[in-house]
Structure 1
Amino acid sequence: MTQTILRGRWNYHRLTATVINDIAVEIGFFTLWAVAIVLISEHRKNLGISSQMLTVLGTVLGLVISFRTTSAYDRYWEGRKLWASVTVASRNLANIIWIQVPTDRKNAEGKDAHLRATIEKKTMVNLVQAFSVAMKHYLRGESGIFYEDLYPLVSVLPQHGPTHAEMGEDFKSKDDMLPLWSSTPDLLSAYPPPATTRSESPGDMEKTVADSSSGPKLPPGHKLSPARNPPKKSIYDWIPLLLPIKPFVSMIMHFVAPNRKRSNRDWMGRKIKREINIESNVPLEITLFLSSYLSHITKLGLVGPPILSAYWASLASFQDSAVALERIRSNPIPYAYQMHLRMSTWLYLLFLPFQIYSVLKWVTVPATAFAAFLFLGFLEIGAEIEDPFDYDENDLDVDRFCEAIGKELAEITAHPVALDPAHYIFGEWNQPFAPGDMRSADTIIANEEHDYHHPHNGSASLRRTLLRSWRDTNQRRLTHTHF
């Protein structure tokens, strides 16, 4: 559905989706500057200058700003296409694992072999879902796996390199912990370790603390962060007009509360991007486990070469999308380009009142305010959408993408695996030749006297029915188009 600014009711969410809050301070500054120029020109000395450079510089600046915004939108749209690729690869991998990998296997021992195979496949489908969730947190600079939407999907993975049976308990320590488990979310402060000087015993590493819910157990000293961790809003987000006094408030608070949390806006109201400090590439770790599962089913001979090729192609698509998404996140438009463009815009807006005062007089004030809104707005839009994975109102809704992938994978695993197509093809609900022949499939099969069953003319009769279906469908389409 096409979105328009006139559809629906305006509320705070829609207001924050604009860049008005981000550029309000700058617009106010240039408006006051224009008021000062007009007052001086009206009552003291005419400060008007020639406007010959106005058209030339304005055109050049407009083109450069347009290029800046277009470049940012290209990154935004590329990010959306890459998430679509992640969705397609997730569907394909889940389809292969759930449908193509057999549940009833040869030489499988035990009466619960079918159940074990189903648990195995569902676990791997969960890992497929975990990739998109881990990618979301990775792109947002959120380290670790201890999130409400990610940890239940990956808690099954081993925490240490060697297993207990291979190397013994002495190797189950933090030094042998896999990278997947060795990082903690920066937004959480883990529980402090006990005040002791003794070395960690193997028994301590095996202890787990159950979460308050019925979900998976957590290692000691960890708790789950929410699936979404947007920066907290401050008073400057709600009242942007207070931003001019922010430097003075920050100076006072530096001495009063030096350990306070920093605001997510600078003194001019522009949003500050959070720094990325990733200890472990969780999406990469997940693809390694999916790759090891491919090796497992290959060694057991569970699927043929075409299915293995399709599995590997989907896994490679995961890797390609992850690298491309990381490139967008970690390679912003060069700072020198952004700063030079903003400084040029500021200089243009500073000299604008001098050039238009002689013609517009007091209209110079609203004209300058509108020019500031126009140029600075496009600059801020470009700065916001060039990194489309954060929590800004105009960023990609990657949370919804992940939820959609999870829903689709749950739908795939709800599909019966060993369903014989004959059960629904030859049933009473199937009308294969409609609208030319409205009889059900079981009726057609049972009526052996019909021309379809004739050993010589059966094919011709079927062809006449299919042609009649085409004519009826085409006539229905033409009638619908006419009305």
Structure 2
Amino acid sequence: MVASNPLFSGRMSLRKKFMATVINDIWPEVFFFTLVATMVYLVTSMTHVHLVFNNALLGVLGTVLGLVISFRTSSAYERYQDGRKMWTNVGFQCRNLAQLIWIHVPNERPAKDGQPALNTLEGIIEKKSMINLIQAYAVSVKHYLRGESGAYYQDLYPLISFLPRYSSHGGQTEADMLPLWHASEDGSLHSAPSRIHTGSEPGTLVGGGGRPQPGSRKSSWFSTTGSKSKNHDYVDPEKVLPTIQVHRPLKPARNPPGADIFDYIPFLRVFKIVGKGIKRVFGGRRGNGDEEAGGARRSLMGRKRKPELGDSNVPTEIILFLSGYSAHLVRTASIQPAAAAAVINGINALSDTLSNLERIGNTPLPFAYQAHLRMSLWIYLFFLPFQIESTMSYLTIPGTAFAAFLFLGFLEIGQEIENPFNYDLNDLDLDQFCLTIQRELNEITAHQVSPNPTSYIFSHWNQPFAPADRRSADELVKTGLDGYRHTSVGGAGAGGAGGAGGAGGGDSQPGLMSVQRTLLRAWRDVDEHTRQ
């Protein structure tokens, strides 16, 4: 996502700056209509043929088209904003759910209802594993929205590799494989299922150092974004993931389609399609994987093609395991009813957010509306120079070019941000959203589980009654409620020794009344010093 002006930020290459605009998509059409305007001017000025039409409908049609294109862009931006709001909900719910699990689920649990007892270490391991699964949910949503099916990705597989692969009532054959893994196995580089669970056999290690996998491109934050950010020019997010063994190479965490000459000059793709057709006729190869690698990013007319949503719904499978964990906590009475209800509501909110993201991703503007709007705009721009040549003369050429640039640009912007979940520079930065969630979840688990508030409240670092009384909490405790005295002189409030402010010369009796007067004075001091 281009959050700042890339043309002047100096953090993007010229190619990236060019790709961040819509010029790359509309320049062939602008060039075509400019040629039409040039032809109209030259024929009219150099011959006896006057290519001039009545311009009575010019203003009316231009106004109508402008309004329709404005509605098209506004509706697309609304979808863009909805996508951002939904990802805000994903981050919010992930944080809340992780906090509930980390704080409200006890570490030590006695044996109950046939379930074994858990000691402190086992309880922490269980909760941290489920929080990692929450992180995996956000990552799986990112891949799902980008049309990247399956679970074998460098930033996803290490987080869910511990999930069961086979039905507990069956064997370990492909027929017994659970839906999550069965849908992820695409047949490529597939080996015997027995190697999946083996930790001693030689195989591919992923995570923990970001070692590249055979047959897959190395994915790092710097190499995939192409921007030399001062905070991320050396970061490899996969380094901090678990180091596990996998039976097949993993796909990169980010796999944006590569740009080639056909992206800069889209109409040349016609020759590529003709060449492939000739190869098929004469028995040539039917393809070399270029279409999968990004060669089919554009249609025959040069329009960008958005990938469809993935066909294996990994986020739903992860929600199923999280729901099973919440049911286990309720069944074993390991969590209070209010906290259990909050956990269940958080999981349901994640499922609801996924449904909303699917709605945005797979409900484009109806094709008939898009096609009719674009054809109407082409007809308008084609006949525009015929209507303005008599009044603008040679200015017909730049005038038509500017009108084409203006109308086609807004139309293309609406089409580009309509589905904001892909790799275009103007799409939402889903990778950064997932990394933010990862940092926040690890920040939650870095804190002590259910800390005793007395361990940090009653210390010499805490001055609860400041600015009216700057004595520390431990000094106040030593004084006691019966010995506490409010002072109107302000010895403690002025920053002097706390004992002088609380013990001598006060105009109130020791006790709760003095505490209340101290808090009232604190409010007055704050109100006085914070108003302009």
Q: Same fold (TM over 0.5)?
A: yes
Instruction: State how far apart, in whole Å, the 1-side matches of 2:316 and 2:117 are.
Output: 36
Instruction: State how far apart, in whole Å, the 2-side matches of 1:429 and 1:144 are.
Output: 51
- Shift of the alpha carbon at 1:275? 4.0
User: Counterparts in 2 of 1:181-220, with a 5 A limit?
Assistant: 181-184=181-184, 190-191=188-189, 207=198, 210-213=203-206, 215-220=242-247
SS in 2 for 1:433: coil
Q: Aligned match of 1:22 in 15, 25, 35?
A: 25
Instruction: State how far apart, in whole Å, the 2-side matches of 1:203 and 1:258 are.
Output: 35
Cα distance per residue 1:335-368 (max 9 Å; x no partner): 0100000000000000100111111111111111
Whether contact under 8 Å (1:23, 1:270) holds in the other structure is no
Cα distance per residue 1:156-181 (max 9 Å; x no partner): 1000112xxx55xxx21101101110
SS in 2 for 1:431: coil
Q: Match of 1:141? A: 147
User: Counterparts in 2 of 1:27-106, with a 5 A limit?
Assistant: 27-44=30-47, 45-106=49-110
Q: Match of 2:137? A: 131
1:250 aligns with 2:273: yes
Structure 1 residue identity aligned to 2:54:
S
User: Counterparts in 2 of 1:71-470, with a 5 A limit?
Assistant: 71-107=75-111, 113-162=119-168, 166-167=169-170, 171-184=171-184, 190-191=188-189, 207=198, 210-213=203-206, 215-220=242-247, 222-237=248-263, 240=264, 242-256=265-279, 258-260=286-288, 261-262=290-291, 263=295, 264-278=297-311, 280-448=312-480, 449-451=483-485, 457-470=510-523
- Shift of the alpha carbon at 1:473? 1.4
Whether contact under 8 Å (1:23, 1:269) holds in the other structure is no
- Shift of the alpha carbon at 1:308? 0.9
SS in 1 for 2:204: coil
With over 3 angstroms needed to count, the CA separation of the structure-2 counterparts of 1:138 and 1:59, relative to structure 1, is same
Structure 1: tracts of 5 or more residues without a match: 194-199
- Shift of the alpha carbon at 1:15? 2.2
- Shift of the alpha carbon at 1:477? 1.5
Whether contact under 8 Å (2:144, 2:313) holds in the other structure is yes
Instruction: State how far apart, in whole Å, the 1-side matches of 2:18 and 2:443 are.
Output: 37
Instruction: State how far apart, in whole Å, the 2-side matches of 1:112 and 1:286 are.
Output: 24
Instruction: State how far apart, in whole Å, the 2-side matches of 1:159 and 1:27 are.
Output: 54
- Using the TM superposition, name which of 93-102 and 256-265 deviates more: 256-265
Q: Match of 1:196? A: none
- Shift of the alpha carbon at 1:463? 1.9
SS in 1 for 2:33: helix
Instruction: State how far apart, in whole Å, the 2-side matches of 1:26 and 1:2 are.
Output: 28
Whether contact under 8 Å (1:30, 1:372) holds in the other structure is yes
Instruction: State how far apart, in whole Å, the 2-side matches of 1:184 and 1:357 are.
Output: 60
Whether contact under 8 Å (2:65, 2:377) holds in the other structure is yes
- Shift of the alpha carbon at 1:51? 1.2
Structure 2 residue identity aligned to 1:88:
F
Structure 2 residue identity aligned to 1:472:
D
Instruction: State how far apart, in whole Å, the 2-side matches of 1:116 and 1:86 are.
Output: 28
With over 3 angstroms needed to count, the CA separation of the structure-2 counterparts of 1:377 and 1:248, relative to structure 1, is same
SS in 1 for 2:452: coil
More helix by share: 1
Instruction: State how far apart, in whole Å, the 2-side matches of 1:111 and 1:38 are.
Output: 88
With over 3 angstroms needed to count, the CA separation of the structure-2 counterparts of 1:249 and 1:204, relative to structure 1, is closer
Whether contact under 8 Å (2:205, 2:243) holds in the other structure is no
- Shift of the alpha carbon at 1:429? 0.7
- Shift of the alpha carbon at 1:467? 1.9
With over 3 angstroms needed to count, the CA separation of the structure-2 counterparts of 1:316 and 1:118, relative to structure 1, is same
- Shift of the alpha carbon at 1:204? 6.2
Aligned residues: 459
Cα distance per residue 1:416-436 (max 9 Å; x no partner): 003110011101111111111
With over 3 angstroms needed to count, the CA separation of the structure-2 counterparts of 1:249 and 1:210, relative to structure 1, is closer
- Shift of the alpha carbon at 1:206? 5.1
Q: Match of 2:496? A: none
With over 3 angstroms needed to count, the CA separation of the structure-2 counterparts of 1:156 and 1:20, relative to structure 1, is same
With over 3 angstroms needed to count, the CA separation of the structure-2 counterparts of 1:112 and 1:328, relative to structure 1, is closer
- Shift of the alpha carbon at 1:89? 0.8
- Shift of the alpha carbon at 1:104? 2.1
Cα distance per residue 1:218-261 (max 9 Å; x no partner): 453x2111111111211233xx2x33333123312443554131
SS in 2 for 1:301: coil
Cα distance per residue 1:304-339 (max 9 Å; x no partner): 110111011101100110011011111111101000
- Shift of the alpha carbon at 1:80? 0.7
- Using the TM superposition, name which of 283-292 and 9-18 deviates more: 9-18
Cα distance per residue 1:198-226 (max 9 Å; x no partner): xx7x8567556532445554453x21111
Whether contact under 8 Å (2:34, 2:398) holds in the other structure is yes
Structure 2 residue identity aligned to 1:177:
M
With over 3 angstroms needed to count, the CA separation of the structure-2 counterparts of 1:107 and 1:159, relative to structure 1, is closer
With over 3 angstroms needed to count, the CA separation of the structure-2 counterparts of 1:203 and 1:347, relative to structure 1, is closer
Cα distance per residue 1:259-315 (max 9 Å; x no partner): 13132223443222224451x211110111001101111111111110111011101
Instruction: State how far apart, in whole Å, the 1-side matches of 2:477 and 2:266 are.
Output: 79
With over 3 angstroms needed to count, the CA separation of the structure-2 counterparts of 1:348 and 1:15, relative to structure 1, is same
TM-score, normalised by the number of residues in structure 1: 0.89
Instruction: State how far apart, in whole Å, the 2-side matches of 1:231 and 1:84 are.
Output: 26
Larger RCO (CA under 8 A, 6+ residues apart): 1
Whether contact under 8 Å (1:129, 1:409) holds in the other structure is yes
- Shift of the alpha carbon at 1:414? 0.5
- Shift of the alpha carbon at 1:24? 1.0
Instruction: State how far apart, in whole Å, the 2-side matches of 1:76 and 1:205 are.
Output: 40
- Shift of the alpha carbon at 1:184? 3.5
